[in-house]
């Protein structure tokens, strides 16, 4: 079998080092030079000829992270890597996955096209905003599930009268899968937006009286939805509200909103590095999950055993 080599982009180095540690291999030597005008120029400092190369980089803003990954793919292919897998813990622009109004782009599809055009052979990611984005790619996509990280943690809390909640209608499927796993009920917070990142109204569908509620979502951006949902759930009689969310984008005044919210805690993963810290936030690592997936893919073993 071809040898495995792991490389990291600038933005995800903190996570790539942990993934490499769990895999039992050091990160490969890669230099990413930046010209004075901001142009990016990656170069591999070791041979990747005939190797199974894994490039680790989340594609969250700024756009340099995406461009850097594309150039890394191109450099690996031109250096005769046998197989290039892009490991994208957080797949950016996934919220733009359809035309929800006239004359807009479908950025998730454009990102998929760019990765394919650059020469990637496979994508490994976690908790896409919409599962159907996998269909945008003409090569295999390994879509890891954040529940493998969150479920053991939630079990350790031993919460009684547990109820799972979707912060919006789009997250019903995700919340339902958790509810089935724990054999408990779920509720839905139905929200209406005036415009992006601004909630006009919200109501709870279901009973949360006396329940310990866990909100489930894939991303937390401005934290407006999750904090408002927690507030309404408490008004409806919930005993406590906490949230488990995979990707902590946390833009604007999100940290302030979380600190001032009624949330018991916000549990996130390290797919995106946190800009600040908060006493209400707990970070669980996806490094071991990705390391196991990389090993199984290289060994041509199934990764379904990694899912809950």
Q: Write out the catalytic residue numbers.
A: 191
* Pairing mode of beta strands 40-44, 52-56: unpaired
* Cβ partners under 8 Å of residue 39, min gap 6: none
The one-character DSSP state at 260 is T
Q: Alpha-carbon distance 23 to 303, whole Å?
A: 15
Query: Strand (E) positions, the chain?
Result: 4-8, 30-34, 40-44, 52-56, 83-88, 122-126, 141-144, 162-166, 185-195, 198-205, 212-220, 240-248, 266-269, 281-284
Structure tokens at 140: 């295999």
Query: What three-state secondary structure class fits 247?
Result: strand
């Amino acid at each position: 079998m071809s040898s495995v080599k792991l490389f990291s982009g600038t933005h995800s180095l903190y996570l790539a080092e942990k993934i490499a540690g769990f895999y039992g291999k050091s990160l490969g030597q890669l230099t990413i030079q930046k010209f004075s005008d901001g142009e990016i120029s990656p170069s591999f400092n070791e041979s990747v000829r005939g190797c199974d190369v894994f490039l680790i980089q989340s594609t969250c803003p700024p756009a340099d992270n995406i461009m850097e990954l594309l150039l890394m793919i191109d450099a690996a292919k031109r250096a005769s890597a046998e197989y290039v897998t892009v490991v994208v813990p957080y797949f950016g622009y996934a919220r733009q996955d359809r035309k929800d109004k006239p004359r807009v782009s479908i950025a998730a599809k454009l990102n998929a096209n760019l990765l394919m055009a650059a020469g990637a052979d496979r994508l490994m990611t976690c908790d896409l905003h919409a599962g159907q984005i996998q269909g945008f790619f003409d090569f295999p996509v390994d879509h890891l599930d954040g529940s493998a990280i969150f479920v053991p943690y939630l079990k350790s809390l031993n919460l009684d009268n547990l109820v799972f909640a979707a912060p919006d209608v789009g997250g019903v499927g995700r919340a339902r899968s958790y509810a089935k796993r724990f054999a408990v009920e779920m509720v839905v917070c139905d929200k209406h937006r005036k415009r992006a990142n601004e909630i006009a109204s919200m109501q709870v569908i279901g009973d949360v009286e006396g329940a310990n509620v866990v909100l489930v979502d894939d991303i937390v951006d401005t934290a407006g939805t999750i904090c408002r949902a927690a507030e309404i759930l408490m008004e409806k009689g919930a005993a406590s509200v906490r949230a488990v969310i995979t990707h902590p984008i946390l833009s604007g005044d999100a940290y302030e909103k979380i600190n001032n919210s009624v949330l018991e805690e916000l549990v996130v993963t390290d797919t995106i590095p946190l800009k600040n810290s908060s006493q209400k936030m707990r970070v669980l690592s996806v490094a071991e999950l990705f390391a196991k997936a990389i090993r199984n893919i290289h060994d041509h073993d199934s990764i379904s055993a990694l899912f809950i």
